Structure formats: structure tokens, C-alpha cells
């Protein structure tokens, strides 16, 4: 029987109390990925529940004014329990001090709902590439379209997994299949890795890590007998196969 491999679509979780706004945003975000998988939540509790059952979410969009979200304390709790998933605050509150507090609490971005759809998409691309975004009006940085800065001075667990697979010579498409994320997400991680390591291409990134005494073992990176940056229970997901259906690509 013919089987298919599921298309590796980007998966975004949006937590907002207003159904109409969630519906509109879903349409806008298809620009990032035509086959975007869009998860919805109307409370912090339901968002946390979605994160528990979906461990392959690429991005979280969160309205900081949810009824059960106690300001940045709830935001920090969400980030601390899911530190490898970029979280962007999407809110009607245009307050400079709150934006600063949100970033300090773990948010990778702070986007007012008053921005244009193109500004929002640009902000999300920055975050997916490993940066931090806040509009110029809410930041002290003299940036043209917003404030961006490296989010981490070291690689995240997911970036290390991508780097390990890069060391095996895998292209972005195959890395995406191995990690069961979208190819666009892998491209974002690769861009962030090159920026953090200060190199121009994938080969330079791998060689730089190896020159510092690290070695790749499967999907993890080690130095001596110590694993670097990836927890022992970290794993690479296999490709899933399904019967022919909507948004599936057929394989022989």
C-alpha cells in the first residue's frame, strides 16, 4: 500500500481570548508557511495544556492580558517550563516598561496589535531566526523597524541538534524530517547558529565547534565525557507516515 510522509509544517500556538482576532491572525500567518498548523488557546491554562501535548511547537504567541495570566509572572512561568520555544507577546498594551519587563521575563518579542501585518511577519521572522524584537516606539534601540539582538550567547538545545545533524552533511530538508519541524524553522536555526558562532557557512560552523574540542555523537554534541547543552533524554523524532490525506506529500 502506498504510504506518504507528512509535510513538515510549522506549528504555532496562539493564546488570545478573542476568537475573531485568532481567526484573522491564522490567515495572516499562512504567509510564513502555507501548510501552517495553528493551535489556539483562550487562557494560559489551555496554552500550557497544548504545550504539554505538543512537543514540536515552533512558536508561541501570547496575549499578556489573558484572564488567568498574572502579568509577567505568568509569562515567566510559561517560559521557564518551555525555555526552548520562542515566545512572543502580542498585545493591545503599548507600554514601554511592560515591554521591557516581558523581554526580561523570557519573551523573545513584544508586538503591539496596532502594527501592520507585514511588521508582525517581519517580527516573527526575526524571532524565528534567534533574535529579540520590540518596536522602536517601545525600545531604546535606534533600529529602523524595531529592536533586534541575539537572544542567546550560547546555542539552545534545538540549535545544537540542528548543528549535530549539519555535521553529518544533512541539508535543511532532511534535518527538518529528522527533528519533525518545518524546513523554514530549520533555516531559522541555521541562520541563528551562524550568527552566534560568527561564521559564514555551515562547514565553518561545524569546524569551529570541532576545533574547540567538541565532537558530535548522533544528535548530540560532547566535549570529553560531558554532553554539551542537550539533556540526556533529548531525542530525534523519526519520520511519521500516514495514509494519503490533505496536505500530505506522496512518496513511493
How many Å apart are CA 172 and CA 250, to the nearest integer? Answer: 19
Give residues with Cβ within 8 angstroms of 49, minimum separation 6.
41
pLDDT of the residue at 247: 36
SS3 label, residue 249: strand
Give the pLDDT confidence of 29-52 residue by residue, as tens digits: 888 777 788 999 999 999 999 999
pLDDT of the residue at 171: 93
How many Å apart are CA 234 and CA 192, to the nearest integer? Answer: 20
**Same fold: 4-138 with 157-250:** no
How is domain 4-138 classified at the CATH fold level?
Answer: Rossmann fold (3.40.50)
Positions in the chain whose pLDDT score sits under 70: 1-8, 70, 138-157, 212-252
| In contact, 127 and 108? CB cutoff 8 Å | yes
pLDDT of the residue at 40: 95
Short-list 122, 125, 154, CA closest to 59: 125
Residue indicated by cell numbers 552533511: 169
pLDDT of the residue at 210: 76
Tell me how far CA of residue 211 lies from CA of 88, 160, 161, 252, in angstroms.
Answer: 35, 16, 18, 41
Model confidence, pTM: 0.56
Domain ranges of the chain: 4-138, 157-250
DSSP calls for 85-138: S-EEEEES---HHHHHHHHHTT-SEEEETTS-HHHHHHHHHHHHTTB-BB-GGG
- The CATH number given to 157-250 is 1.10.10.10
Amino acid at each position: 500500500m502506498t504510504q506518504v510522509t507528512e509535510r513538515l509544517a510549522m506549528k504555532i500556538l496562539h493564546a488570545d481570548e478573542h476568537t475573531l482576532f485568532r481567526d484573522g491572525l491564522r490567515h495572516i500567518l499562512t504567509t510564513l508557511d502555507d501548510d501552517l498548523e495553528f493551535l489556539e488557546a483562550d487562557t494560559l491554562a489551555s496554552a500550557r495544556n497544548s504545550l504539554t501535548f505538543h512537543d514540536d511547537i515552533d512558536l508561541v504567541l501570547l496575549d499578556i492580558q489573558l484572564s488567568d495570566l498574572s502579568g509577567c509572572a505568568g509569562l515567566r512561568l510559561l517560559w521557564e517550563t518551555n525555555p526552548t520555544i520562542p515566545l512572543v507577546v502580542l498585545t493591545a498594551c503599548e507600554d514601554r516598561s511592560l515591554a521591557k519587563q516581558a523581554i526580561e521575563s523570557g519573551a523573545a518579542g513584544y508586538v503591539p496589535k496596532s502594527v501592520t501585518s507585514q511588521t508582525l511577519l517581519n517580527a516573527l521572522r526575526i524571532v524565528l531566526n534567534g533574535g529579540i524584537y520590540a518596536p522602536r516606539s517601545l525600545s531604546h534601540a535606534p533600529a529602523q523597524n524595531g529592536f533586534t539582538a541575539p537572544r542567546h550567547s550560547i546555542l539552545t538545545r534545538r540549535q545544537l541538534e540542528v548543528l549535530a545533524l549539519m555535521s553529518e552533511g544533512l541539508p535543511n530538508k532532511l534535518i527538518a524530517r529528522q527533528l519533525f519541524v518545518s524546513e523554514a524553522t530549520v533555516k531559522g536555526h541555521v541562520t541563528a547558529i551562524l550568527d552566534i558562532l560568527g561564521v559564514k557557512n555551515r562547514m565553518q560552523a561545524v569546524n569551529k565547534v570541532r576545533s574547540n574540542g567538541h565532537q558530535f555523537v548522533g544528535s548530540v554534541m560532547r566535549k570529553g565525557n560531558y554532553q554539551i547543552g542537550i539533556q540526556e533524554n533529548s531525542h530525534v523524532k523519526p519520520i511519521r507516515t500516514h495514509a494519503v490525506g490533505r496536505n500530505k506529500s506522496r512518496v513511493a
